A and B are shown apart, each in its own frame.
Chain A
Amino acid sequence: MTTTTDSPDVRASLSVLAAATATHGTGRDDDITLPKLPGFIESAFSPLAYEVAARCLTQCPGDGDRTAVALVSLMGDTTTADLASLRIVSGRVLSPLLFMQATANSVLGHLSREFGITGQMFSLSTLADPLTELLDMAVLLLAEDPELDRILVLGVELGGGERVAAVHRELAAAHGGPVPSVSSAMPASALPPAPAGVAAALLLGRSAGTGRPVEQPDAAQGLFELTTAHAAALPGQGTTETETPTHAHQ
C-alpha cells in the first residue's frame, strides 16, 4: 500500500477499557498454566490468545455485536505448523486437530462464540511494529465503522525450535536488527523453544474526550509492555469508569 498523507496522532481518540498479558514457559515468575480449550491441545498459541482475550472481555463486558477483534502474530502458530510438517515428512496421518488449529481463525471463532462477538474478527502478520499497526487499526475501525464501539487487539508469539530460530536470524540480518515483536523485552527470537509464548491484549474503545492525548509508543516498547503498564494502572477493571487513555509512558 502507498500513502500520501501523514495521519495525525489520532490515537487520543482511543481509551483502554481492559488490558491483560500472559506468558507461558518463559521462566518468568508469573508464567501461567495454559487454560484448557477443547480441541486446542497441540500448541500454546490458541490458549494464550484465549487467556488474554477472555480476561479483557470478562473484566469489561460489553455488546458483542459492536465489538471487533484483531490479532497480530509475525509467524502465527509455529508449533502447529512445525508439527504438521514433521508428521508429513515422517509419513504419518495428520490429526484433524491440526486442521482446526491451522489458522488463528479457530480460536477467534471460539472467542466469538463464548463472548457473543459478531463484529469483524481478523488476524495479521507484519514486519512493522505490531503495536503501532494495531493501534492504527483500532483508530481506523472505530472511526470508519459506525457499528463498532470496541475493538480487542491482541498479539501472540511463540518460542520456536530450529526452524523458527533460523527464520528470525535471516530476518534480523536483513533488517539490520531484531524484527519488531509483540514484546520488546521478550522477542520471539529470544524465547525458549515451544511451548513458550507471550500474549497481550488491549480492549479499546472511543475516548469520551477526557483522556490525555495519546503519545507515539516508545520505539523500545512493545504491545506486551504497554499492556502491562495499562493493566497495572487499571486496578478496577471491569467498569467503564476505569477507562484511561492509551499512553505509551504510563
Chain B
Amino acid sequence: MSQPRAPEGALPSPELNNVADAVPALLASLLAGRLRLVGPQLTFTNACVASAAALIHGCRLISSGRVDVAVCAGGYLVEEETFAKFNSGRALSGDGTVRPFSADRSGLLLGDGVAAVVLESAEHARRRGARSLASVVGWGAATDAHHIAQPHPEGVGLARAARQALRLAGDPDGASLDYINAHGTGTKYNDGAETRGLHAALGKRAESIPVSSTKSTTGHLLEAAGVVEFVITMLTLLDGVLPPTAGYRTPDPECDLDYVPNTPRPADPRRALTINAAFGGANTALVLERP
C-alpha cells in the first residue's frame, strides 16, 4: 500500500498489552509486528460479521493484486460486560442450551474461540510450493436496511450476500453447493430469517443442501464467528464430515431445511457456503472449494 508502514520487524511495546482491550486496532498491530508483516493492518469491528468482513477484504486485496498474502484472525473470550449487554437484550438462551433452528430455541450462548487463516494468491502459493487447504471462490456482503438490531424477517440482505458470493463462484444457482455453515444463533429472529434468506437465494435447491449451525457446539463467538466458522467449513470439506446442529429437538415449520440434527454426517462435500449476520442488518457470505 502507498502509505508509510511500520518498519519490517518492528516489535510492539509490551506495555501496550495493557490497553489492547480498549483499542481494537492494537491487536492487529501487535500481531503484525511479531509476525513481521508490513502491509495494511486493519481491525474490523462490525460485530458478528467482523472477521468474515476481514476475510472478504483480504480476498479483495488479493484478487486486486494489491497483496499476495493476507493474515486474517479473530478471537473472542467471554467477559462480563458483553455478557451483561446480551443479557439485558434478552438474547441469551433461557434453558442454557443453544438449539438453532429448533422450535424450542430460546436464544444464544456466548463462547470462547479464536482462529486465524492465511489467505494467499494461487500464483504466490504455487511459486513457493505451498499446498492450499481450500480455495475461496466467492464472497459477498450486503445490508438489510431494516432494523438497528433485528434481521430482516425475510433474510433479504443475507440472500443478497449469498447470491453475490455464488455469482462470483460461477454458480449463481448454488448447484455445486454441498454444505452450508449457517449463522444459526438459536434466536427466534435469526433462524427463521436465515432459513427464508437461504430459500430466497437458492430456490428449490435449498431443500437438498445440508445446513448446520456450529454455534450449537462452539457458542456464539461474536467478532470471531466468521473466521472460526470459515475454518470449520474448510475442515468440513477436508474431513468429509458435516458438523451437526447440536441441541436440535423439535422441528419448526418456519425452519424447514436439512439441519444435520445432533449427529455428524459423513459426506463428500466439494463446495460449501459459510454465512454470517450481525447487528444493524450486516450480512456476509463466503464460498469455499476443496482443491
Residues of chain A whose beta carbon lies under 8 Å from any beta carbon of chain B? 1-9, 39, 64, 73-76, 78, 81, 84-85, 88, 93-96, 98-100, 102-110, 112-113, 115-129, 132-133, 136-137, 140-141, 143-145, 147, 163-164, 166-167, 170-171, 173-174, 216
Contact = CB atoms under 8 A, between A and B. Distances in A.
Contacts of B68: 2-5
B61 A1 contact: yes
Interface stretch (B145-153, B174-182, B201-209, B267-275): B145-153
Nearest to B5: A128
A139 to B, nearest CB: 9
B70 A2 contact: yes
* Residue with the highest number of chain B CB atoms closer than 10 Å, among A85, A109, A126, A163: A109
A2 B15 CA distance: 25
Interface string B128-155: 0000000000000111111111000000
Given A113-B145, A118-B143, A2 B39 contact: yes
B125 interface: no
B157 A174 contact: no
Contact of A106 (B18, B65, B81, B149): B149
12 contacts: A2-B70, A75-B23, A75-B24, A81-B22, A107-B148, A109-B146, A110-B148, A119-B142, A120-B142, A122-B44, A123-B45, A126-B42
A167 B23 contact: yes
B61 A104 contact: no
Contacts of A117: 143, 145
Given A76-B24, A95-B88, A3 B280 contact: no
Contact of B39 (A3, A96, A147): A3
Given A99-B88, A108-B280, A171-B16, A140 B66 contact: yes
A143 B45 CA distance: 23
Nearest to B2: A7
Given A100-B89, A118-B145, A171-B16, A124 B58 contact: no
